[in-house]
Amino acid sequence: MSTDDAFDAAYREHYWAVSRFVARRLDDQAWDVEEVVAEVFAVAWRRRAELPESPLPWLYGVARHCLANTVRGKGRYRRLLVKLGHHEVTRGGRTVASPDAERPGSWVLEALSRLAEADQEVLRLTAWEELTVEELSTVLGCGRSAAAMRLHRARRRLREQIETLRRDERVSLGCTSGKGDRAQSADRADKDGHA
């Protein structure tokens, strides 16, 4: 298969996967998504001789770099607007639903948002994009062992954040546990005249 044919096949087979990958990271901002995906495949075209036999993880790696360039560009644009005193600077903030929101799983998103960007990306790649550790190592540009360790650490930190959110939720609802809490509850009942 020629390099042109390999590119055509990669484009046809993986366009929507790359689009979803980018959209999830840009909060479905259609214009930015289209621009980044176009850049990903422009890079793939220029480097079509380097396309691996299984190109999706490689394309995700290219997409990560294109996304980083987009984010840097937006940062420069925002700084310019600040210098100019433009009112658009306050737009574009992102709010993640709190753990008590009605949307199922919102507490997981909240816990995820509390992690470092690198941890978020590793978890997204394995959960949303369903990459294996081997494919993750290709996207991240590191060895398999390093990718596995990054994933392990990111999952551990996510569990810690989820536990923190659960603990905070129990405290805010007045649901506490432990020996001291039962003793305090008994003291309150005695003060209220209840045995």
Residue spans per domain, the chain: 1-94, 97-189
Name the residue with tokens 């929507």: 16
Q: Where are the beta strands (DSSP E) in the chain?
A: none
* DSSP conformational letter for 95: -
Q: Per-residue pLDDT tens for 112-154?
A: 889 999 999 999 888 888 888 888 999 899 999 999 999 999 9
Task: Give domain 1-94's CATH architecture.
Answer: Orthogonal Bundle (1.10)
Query: What is the pTM for the complete model shown?
Result: 0.49
Of 78-82, 86-90, 111-115, the range with the lowest mean pLDDT is 86-90
CATH code of the domain made up of 97-189: 1.10.10.10
Name the residue with tokens 């993986």: 14
- The alpha carbon of 178 is separated from its chain's Cα centroid by a whole number of angstroms, namely 35
Alpha-carbon dihedral of residues 37, 88, 113, 136, nearest 10 degrees?
A: 20
Compute the residue count for the chain: 195
